[in-house]
Structure 1
Amino acid sequence: MKRHAPATSRNAGPIAEVLARELPASGLVLEVASGTGEHAVFMARRFPALLWQPSDLGTEALASVDAYAAEAGLANLLPAVEFDAAKGNPPVAHADALVCINMVHISPWATTAGLFRTAAGLLEEGAPLVLYGPFLEDEVETAASNLEFDRSLKARNPEWGLRNLADVDRVADQCGLSRTSRVEMPANNLMAIYRARGAGG
């Protein structure tokens, strides 16, 4: 039932260091595309004052998240809920932050657009949406490993692939969010932090 993503043990710590600077001190964090659930457990343990709401699409992922959560026994880690970002209809009415790790490149572009629409509906002014993963950038040379990864993703599904950060910025802007931070991460990944501008922003 539990699934394992080898990269989690390598990237969870560095991701948490950035989240410590970007997440609120307390409140509800909606994690979109929780995957195996290993990040959810790690972050809930790292940030005990935050309620961590994992979500994913598909029963296998949800079962894996809940299996890790049951083993961890953390009071601030909520049961996993089903959520398809492309369709909207978020599982919560309000969130103090959204976190999305390694989803944007392994899903159709409509899912990223839906993620930002969801963020716009859930976040108050100044609240963050945090993305992690590999991206393409117009003025930054792409690592050969990321180019090969992009090719392999598109071979699996033509709708997948690394996204240009400028395109992500544009859809964010259309939804009322602005990128406030770009953090280079190990293994040629980035963390991009977007914050809601609020009405009239």
Structure 2
Amino acid sequence: MNEKPFSAACERNREPILAMLRDFFADRRHVLEVGSGTGQHAVHFAAALPRLIWQTSDHAENHPGIRAWLDEASLPNTPAPLILDVTGPWPNGPFDAVFSANTLHIMGWPEVEAFFAALPAATTIDAKLAIYGPFNIDGRYTSDSNAAFDASLKTRAPHRGIRDTAAVDALALAAGFNLIDDVAMPANNRLRLWQRSAR
């Protein structure tokens, strides 16, 4: 691949996300990024947090782009991307942290359920989970722009859509993850942070 894929949204949101991950992942060692997309987040976060092994993953068709970013950065803490469909087999790990950005509204709801259901087997008993993206609260959009975005998502693919915080929290809790924080981010997005606890 001669040209790396580029996401303007990744460039805009990487610093606000990193500011939160510095603290939240301060005691972590091995992060699985689910849905690495272009690979931009991975190289930015791995460079800024060199003590972490940042493991990228995505569908196979996105791997050439991810590899282009990883190869150019040539960081020691970014192993080759893993093939991951959330409804299929997950990597063994175990990972003590999971990160995902702008994925839940792209997945269908059964895939969102599969994502959370797979976490216990893939993570340590004290794992942390960070998910960035737009969310609805109490069934309502948090902005007009999110309402328009949700309409455009459903026009392109009816199974897509902005997820409600309560529904997502219920899945997280069923997987053993308790909500730690819900941080308002730029452009009407949120960074939601959970930690797994022993039952």
Q: Same fold (TM over 0.5)?
A: yes
* 1:56 and 1:84 in contact (8 A); partners too: yes
Gaps of 5+ in 2: none
What is the alpha-carbon distance in structure 2 between the residues aligned to residue 90 and residue 138 of structure 1?
31
Aligned length: 197
Quick one: distance in 1 between partners of 2:196 and 2:28?
18
| Gapped regions of structure 1 (runs ≥ 5) | none
Residue type of the partner of 1:145? S
- Alignment of 1:23 with 2:25, yes or no, is yes
Which deviates further from its counterpart, 107-116 or 67-76? Answer: 107-116
1:20-169 equivalences under 5 Å are 20-59=22-61, 61-87=62-88, 89-138=89-138, 142-169=142-169
RMSD: 1.4
Distance in 2 (CA, whole Å) between partners of 1:192 and 1:37 is: 21
The secondary structure found in structure 1 opposite 2:126 is coil
Identity %: 36
Question: How many Å separate the matches in 1 of 2:7 and 2:127?
Answer: 29
Tell me, in whole angstroms, the C-alpha distance in 2 between the residues paired with 1:18 and 1:173. Answer: 22
Which aligned runs of 4 or more in structure 1 are off by greater than 4 angstroms?
none
Superposition TM-score, scaled by structure 2 size: 0.94
1:170 aligns to what SS in structure 2? helix
Alignment TM-score, normalising by the size of structure 1: 0.93
Alpha-carbon displacement from aligned partner over 1:125-182 (angstroms, at most 9, x marks no partner): 3321110000000187620000000000011111100000100011111221111110
2:50, 2:135 → 1: CA distance?
30
The change in CA–CA distance for 1:110 and 1:24 in structure 2 (over 3 A counts) is farther
User: Relative to structure 1, is the Cα distance of residues 82 and 139 closer, same or farther in structure 2, using a 3 angstrom cutoff?
Assistant: closer
Q: Distance in 2 between matches of 1:79 and 1:163?
A: 30
